[in-house]
Amino acid sequence: MNIHNILHKLVVAVVMLVGFGIALGWPQYRKHQTIIHARHALDLGREIAYQESVYKTSHGSYQPDFTQLELSVSCPATTNQEKPAMKCGNYVFYLQDGHIVRVDHEDMPEWFELDIDAGTVRCSYEENSWAGEHICDRMDVSDLNL
């Protein structure tokens, strides 16, 4: 066997090992990124709920247009079910039932509900949604009451 054949087999083996490592690691990386984005969305939802409380104290009612609140982040205004909404990344934020800040994921069947009046947070997902269950299981909202 000459050195050229040995190097060729070594390069093929290294490429296969790297490819195998990427194939195994990429889904874990994506899951981790999804959890990080969900936590950011939940944090922004909590900030919106707090600013809504401040707004209600001054004006007597909640503000459905979140762009009118004093938020630390600026996201584009949009609509969701013909209601004013705000889109940040893959999440859409809007006021539901007059007192709940709803945070929906654009593609996955999971969401957060921040009940301003009750001061509670709930993570939910559609039945049999592995993605939603995965996110909610990793989002401990029990100590995140408003």
User: For residue range 76-131, what is the model confidence (pLDDT) as tens digits?
Assistant: 999 988 889 999 999 999 999 999 999 998 887 778 899 999 888 888 877 877 77
C-alpha 144/C-alpha 132 separation (Å) is 19
Amino acid at 90: N
pTM for the model stands at: 0.78
C-alpha 81/C-alpha 66 separation (Å) is 15
Stronger pLDDT, 72 or 12, i.e. the higher one: 72
Q: What is the mean pLDDT of residues 41-52?
A: 92
Under 8 Å between Cβ of 38 and 30 = no
The confidence score (pLDDT) of residue 141 equals: 64
C-alpha 59/C-alpha 61 separation (Å) is 6
Both structure tokens of 95:
């006021």
Q: Measuring CA to CA, how many Å separate 84 from each of 17, 28, 44, 95?
A: 50, 35, 16, 8
Both structure tokens of 87:
């889109």
H-helix segments, the chain = 3-59, 130-138
